[in-house]
Amino acid sequence: MSLADHPFHGPVHHLAYLVDDLEAAVEHLVTEFSAGPFFVLRDVAFEHLTSHGEPATFAHDSAFGQCGAVPVEVIQVKRLEPELVRAGFALTSPQLHHSAYVAAPEHLAAAREDLERRGLPAFLHAITGDIDSTLHDAAATLGHHVELHADCQQLRDVFGMVRDASVGWDGSDPLRSVA
């Protein structure tokens, strides 16, 4: 993998914030920053969720919206297991939890290995549908974590829906359920 293929040499895909109250955070983003609308996923489910190869729990709600040109995710955690995963979410809320990047599927393994070599170990691996992502501990280096996603149509569709809904949005129905 060349440096040009590394996800860090492309744009940030989205920023994710850890919050104590999802609805209040969305209301604040809408009111103060004209972000939105937001699409909420309650009790996010994964087909495969591990931490260092062992089963993990990441029970949470997420809302996805657009703040200007930047896609944002707001995360309200409900339950985390094991301790390594809890530690990965121990940042004080509200907090920038992670910046996300997308890698071509053929470069994803090399990008993950590169982050490991640079001292940014993965602490959570999640797969749902075609979406394959890892969270890497970068708090000591960057002050927040890094998420790597494999590029896939499902990811493009979700964030395309979010972006398209923000164009010409009139401020109505700021928190919507994902169908």
Q: Residue ranges of the domains in the chain? A: 8-165
What per-residue confidence (pLDDT) applies to 131? 94
Residues linked to residue 100 through DSSP beta bridges, in sequence order: 14, 147
In the predicted structure, residue 68 carries a pLDDT above the cut 90: yes
Whether the per-residue pLDDT at 119 is higher than 60: the answer is yes
The answer to whether residue 81 scores a pLDDT higher than 80 is yes
Instruction: Give the residue-averaged pLDDT of 163-179.
Output: 93
What pLDDT does residue 92 have?
80
Class for the domain spanning 8-165: alpha beta
Confidence of residue 151 (pLDDT cuts 50, 70, 90): very high
Predicted confidence at residue 91, as pLDDT, reads 79
- In the chain, what percentage of residues exceed pLDDT 90? 87
CA distance 122 to 145: 10
**Which of the four pLDDT bands, split at 50, 70 and 90, describes residue 2?**
low
Distances from the Cα of 63 to the Cαs of 33, 105, 131, 142, 175, in angstroms? 16, 25, 17, 24, 8
Rounded Cα gap, residues 151 and 75, in angstroms: 21
**Cα–Cα distance for residue pair 62/17, rounded to 1 Å:** 10
The answer to whether the beta carbons of residues 127 and 111 sit under 8 Å apart is no
* pLDDT at 3 (0 to 100): 58
**Mean pLDDT across the stretch 57-77?**
96
Closest CA to 30 of 77, 68, 86: 68
Residue 146: pLDDT band by 50, 70, 90 thresholds? very high
Indicate the pTM of the whole model: 0.92
Q: Binning pLDDT at 50, 70 and 90, where does residue 163 land?
A: very high
Query: Does 65 score more than 90 pLDDT?
Result: yes
- For the chain, the average pLDDT equals 93
